[in-house]
Amino acid sequence: MNIKKLSALTACILLISSLTACTVTDTDDPGAENTVLKEDLSVVNENTDLTKGSDAAPSISENFDGLEPLAKKRGSALMKLMDDQAASDGKALMIYNRKEAWNGAEYNADVYRGNEIEVSGSFRSANPAVRVSIQFTIYGNTSYNMVFSVDTNESSYTQGSGRYIIPANAENIIVYIESDNLEDIYADNFSVNVAGEYKYYAEAEALVFADTSDYPSLKEKYGDHFLIGTAISPTSIDTPEYSALIKAQFNSVTLENDMKPEGILDHNKTVADKEKYMECPALKFDHLKAELDFARDNGMTVRGHTLVWHSQTPDWIFYKDYDVGGELADRELMLARMENYIKGVMEWTNENYPGLISAWDVVNEAAADSGGMRESLWYKTIGDDYIGKAFEFARKYAPDGTKLFYNDYNSYMAGKQSVILDFLRPVAEAGNIDGVGMQSHINTDINQIIYMTALKKYHEELGVEIQITELDIGTNIKNDSWQDIQGEYYKSYMQKLTELENSGVPITSVTLWGLSDAVSWKASECPLVFNADLSRKPAFDGMIAAAEQE
């Protein structure tokens, strides 16, 4: 059976796992109190049935009260079972020694392939947010997708849960716990269960790609209005079927992860000579080359994403001696590091790929969900003018013609918009910002009139252009017509954007956040315009129809 034969909903995505006889409690810190060492494996997780090939639904259920967790460490993280730290009685899992945000705890989940899973857990961490994510590979493409996230705090546990449909074509399926930062994470009552009837897939089903060669082209249809972009990864451009479709449909790309500070900051080199790199952390760029070459060689422009962000920015950059746990760097030192980082990235890209990057997301997501500015480590070390400073440095080092953007999600919401406008007004007055990026991770319940009114307001109040930078329109509708409803939404959304652009609002680019539902960061909501096999969804047809109608 290929994916086309699955029901519409199942065709959209797929996920999770197999647990073999796991083990491992890392106790690399033998001096630590409360560490429980391996003694008797027989009592561990006795309610866990993960027999491969069985018709019985598998289940991961961990309260961490045994002697060994089923979880394995991910990346450099270490794990300990802790007494007196549990959400209720017993023990909790402490995940520590995290050197990158994705370091954490993981579970192999191959036995859940082709099924919908329900994942649940309670978490505690000093710095939000903890995420449960899922990784899998389809036809050589590895994607990392969110199942759910919880806003954690240091003093009490926050429970979260989420569902995810794992494609039947997925291999190497891993469910993992990570966060936005490097704080220790405490986890308790973690479970992964099958939602609905279980079907066992011994192997990943073959993925038969649709013939995409006769699709109308989005970039051609919208050529008179704005650029049309997509987010790319190194594996997506390496997959011939994906790269052919990217080239045919898009004239702009954003590197989904690789231009973020996490990948560019060179920790090893920096800490090897702290004195030399004290104000100017070492940078590395080799991992960007394949994607930037792809864009350049295929005549596409690149949105640079992103310079100053609270997430996917390693904590060590904010500490005086690059030593997390030590003292935070002071304002002057952080301003120097910020300036040198922006300078270094601008210089390298301009020298190696002159003219390729048309826009930079200089600051990303500085507004808090709860109102006001996000109290990130940029904010804590520099103060509330860090946004203005970032734009000042970006203007100083950006080549002429490169547009400087502020980028955020839920930025159409009135409360968040007023916070964003407040902190961007002085930046606009200083002439250091060219545009606002509305990420637009939205869903079919969002009122398009409210959204378009907010879009226009950014232009009118700040005198800047607008780009839609990370568009995906999810849906929670579960009936048979969900794809058509989503298609209609895409169509009327694009019609409204085009009308606004025709009326003089400078909308200069619309970027979809990924190519197909299989590789979307929120794949469980099937938010993009191509199915996993690259067959076109009503969402794609809706975008085309909107361009043809105006």
Asked about 465 being catalytic, the answer comes back as no
> Rounded to whole angstroms, how far apart are CA atoms 109 and 176?
10
- Report, in Å, the least distance between residue 470 CB and ligand G3I: 5
> Rounded to whole angstroms, how far apart are CA atoms 398 and 326?
33
Torsions phi, psi for 263 (to 5 deg): -85, -30
Residue number, 178 or 205, with CB nearest to ligand G3I: 178
Quote helix, strand, coil % in the chain, to nearest 5. 30, 25, 45
- Report, in Å, the least distance between residue 451 CB and ligand G3I: 17
> Rounded to whole angstroms, how far apart are CA atoms 383 and 332?
11
- Report, in Å, the least distance between residue 264 CB and ligand G3I: 12
Q: How is residue 108 written in tokens? A: 């192999």
Asked about 46 being catalytic, the answer comes back as no
Residue number, 87 or 519, with CB nearest to ligand G3I: 519
Query: Residues 365, 465, 501, 525: which is the catalytic one?
Result: 365
Provide Rg for the chain, Cα atoms: 23
Sequence letter at residue 353? Y
What CA–CA distances, in Å, run from 50 to 66, 68, 70? Answer: 17, 16, 11
- Report, in Å, the least distance between residue 261 CB and ligand G3I: 11
- Report, in Å, the least distance between residue 103 CB and ligand G3I: 8
> Rounded to whole angstroms, how far apart are CA atoms 5 and 460?
49
Q: Which of 250, 301, 261 is nearest to 513 (CA)?
A: 250
Helix or strand holding residue 380 (H, E): helix 377-382
Helix or strand holding residue 187 (H, E): strand 185-194
- Report, in Å, the least distance between residue 17 CB and ligand G3I: 15
What CA–CA distances, in Å, run from 524 to 115, 181, 227, 352, 516? Answer: 12, 24, 27, 38, 12
Residue number, 486 or 511, with CB nearest to ligand G3I: 511
Residue number, 366 or 547, with CB nearest to ligand G3I: 366
Q: Which of 8, 9, 11 is nearest to 169 (CA)?
A: 11
Query: Residues 205, 241, 291, 470: which is the catalytic one?
Result: 470
Residue number, 133 or 495, with CB nearest to ligand G3I: 133
Q: Which of 488, 461, 365 is nearest to 416 (CA)?
A: 365
> Rounded to whole angstroms, how far apart are CA atoms 398 and 401?
8
Q: Which of 256, 248, 251, 231 is nearest to 508 (CA)?
A: 251
3-state secondary structure of 100: coil
- Report, in Å, the least distance between residue 288 CB and ligand G3I: 13
Residue number, 66 or 527, with CB nearest to ligand G3I: 527
Residues in contact with ligand G3I by CB under 6 A are: 102, 133, 135, 144, 178, 256-257, 311-312, 409, 439, 470, 521
Residue number, 75 or 216, with CB nearest to ligand G3I: 75
Which residues are identified as catalytic? 365, 470
